[in-house]
Structure 1
Amino acid sequence: MKHELLFIGKTKDRFIQDGIQEYSSRLSHYTNFNITTLKDKSTSKNKSALESIEAQGKLLLDAVPQGALIVALDSRGQQFTSELFSQKIVDWEISGTKQINYLIGGPDGIADVVLKSATLVLSFSKMTFTHDMVRMLLVEQLYRAYTIKNGEKYHK
């Protein structure tokens, strides 16, 4: 199964970039994983925050291949333990899912059209994280899910 992380704009902080790179490298030993950074063309002095969010949502959805399962990250989504998230991935594998695309919105949030298109809306916490941090947390949790699946000691 292929996992692809789609997000708008570059990750700004070096320590987060390093974390994403580290966990991406680890994850590649278990599954096909790719990160696609989409260029944000939606920010403009003439656009409201809502118009920017909607334009970003269209950009995200246009980048999802036909037939891919969509997981949108949003604070209003469903929360899992790491073990249950791992089991969710196993369930998708068993059901024959070929590709999962994880969509993360920009700093102002994610478009409702993305949330409605998602098979799963996922939240890491009721707390708020920067969209950059969520990128790293997602890659770490995917890596953790695969170590749980394989019975390895990373998850304690």
Structure 2
Amino acid sequence: MNINIITVGKIKEKYIKEGINEFSKRLSRYGKLKIIEIDDEKAPENLSQKDMEKVMEKEGEKIISKIPQNSFIISLEIEGKSISSEMLSKKIEDIMISGNNDITFIIGGSLGLSNEVKMMSNFKLSFSKMTFPHQLMRLILLEQIYRAFRIMKNEPYHK
């Protein structure tokens, strides 16, 4: 299983980097993990709606250029579907059973994802109606993917 995470922005905080490294290491026994960082576009606080859309479009073009061909795309969106850890495990298992050996998770920038990226998505996933820092979301996503594999394999961890 190839697990790709395409994300906008770099990780700055040491404690988040350490958590990401830990879950990346744990996930390595279930598949090949690749984290692809896209540079974020400058987005000052006072952008017009049109300028915000331009920023999302530019970031979206960079994201799309990094999506592996024939990958099952799961975008993280507030408007997406909220599911349990067990349901995420089942979703990943169903994708694998269907013969797709490549999943790409997408975390957008501070303004969100472009409409083009959203339209390409095979499944829109919401972790919450709340907004999380993008750096922290990467760590949360990795933990949930790891948890999903542990559930799938009937291994202890999930409670």
Which category of TM-score, normalised to the shorter sequence, fits these structures? Answer: over 0.9
Aligned to 1:85, which of 78, 85, 88? 88
Q: CA deviation at 1:19?
A: 1.0
What is the aligned residue count? 155
Q: CA deviation at 1:44?
A: 6.8
**Closer, same or farther: CA 131–44 of 1 in aligned 2, 3 Å:** closer
Unaligned regions of 5+ residues in structure 1, if any?
Answer: none
Distance of 1:59 and 1:22 partners within structure 2 = 27
Scaled by the length of structure 1, what TM-score is found? Answer: 0.93
Distance of 1:49 and 1:12 partners within structure 2 = 24
Correspondence 1:1-156 to 2 at 5 A: 1-40=1-40, 42-43=41-42, 48-156=51-159
Q: CA deviation at 1:39?
A: 2.6
Q: Deviations over 1:6-43 (max 9, x none)?
A: 11221122211111111111011111111111233x32
- Give SS of 2:106's match: strand
Give the ranges of 4+ consecutive aligned residues of structure 1 lying more than 6 Å apart after TM superposition.
44-47
- Whichever residue aligns with residue 63 of structure 1, its letter is K
Q: CA deviation at 1:140?
A: 0.3
- Give SS of 1:116's match: helix
Q: CA deviation at 1:152?
A: 1.3
Distance of 1:114 and 1:11 partners within structure 2 = 22
Query: Over aligned residue pairs, what C-alpha RMSD do you find?
Result: 1.6
Distance of 1:51 and 1:59 partners within structure 2 = 13
Percent of aligned pairs sharing the same letter: 38
Q: Deviations over 1:37-90 (max 9, x none)?
A: 1233x3277992221111001110111122111111111101110001001111
2:38–2:59 contact (8 Å) kept in structure 1: no
Unaligned regions of 5+ residues in structure 2, if any?
Answer: none
